[in-house]
Amino acid sequence: MEFLMQYKYLIVPILVWFFIQLFKVIWDLVVTHKFNFKRILGAGGMPSSHSAVVTSLATMIGKTQGLTSPIFALSVIFACIVMYDAAGIRRAAGKQAKLLNKLIETPGLTNLQVQEKLVEVLGHTPVQVFVGAIIGVVVGMIFG
């Protein structure tokens, strides 16, 4: 238990990420009846593990170091950037990948030979980011 407390700022966010990704694998298995191991490392889906990781870390830091500490401010800014990226930039890249995959598959439109499809699930909806952030705050309050 002492080890967990000594390294909680590393262990707790990593465990949050792992369990959320495991949940996504199990959920995908229930819905599609197919085991997709790529989901354990893949991005996207409900909830956002990125959001949960950064908000759990920021919450633990805020709880132990204080809401006025410079390290808490740094962790909140870091969390905001990660969540903005997840719901904004990576989501837009996923939409573009989906469109490009459709264009390439359209008969007669292009003669491109593509070896693999682009990954379409890269980012998150704002709801997925919000749910991940809520999970992170709850976990951070428990373990902080």
User: What are the 10-residue block averages of pLDDT along the chain, 144 residues in total?
Assistant: 84 95 89 80 83 97 97 97 81 67 64 60 80 96 91
Among 40, 72, 41, 47, smallest CA distance to 57 is for: 72
pLDDT for position 116: 65
Angle (deg, nearest 10), helices 126-143 and 70-84: 150
pLDDT of res. 108: 60
**Structure confidence at residue 46 (pLDDT):** 83
Q: What is the pLDDT of residue 93?
A: 66
Question: How distant is the alpha carbon of residue 48 from its chain centre?
Answer: 4
Q: How far apart, in whole angstroms, are the C-alpha atoms of residue 136 and residue 17?
A: 10
Identify the pLDDT of residue 134.
97
The pLDDT, as a whole number, for residue 60 is: 97
What is d(CA 7, CA 9) in angstroms, rounded to the nearest whole number? 6
94, 121 Cβ separation under 8 angstroms: yes
How many Å apart are CA 144 and CA 137, to the nearest integer? 10
Q: Is the peptide bond before 126 cis (omega within 30 degrees of 0)?
A: no
Q: Which of 25, 60, 75 is nearest to 46 (CA)?
A: 25
Q: How many residues does the chain have?
A: 144
Tokens of 47: 């909830």
Angle, to 10 degrees, between the axis of helix 126-143 and the axis of helix 49-65? 40
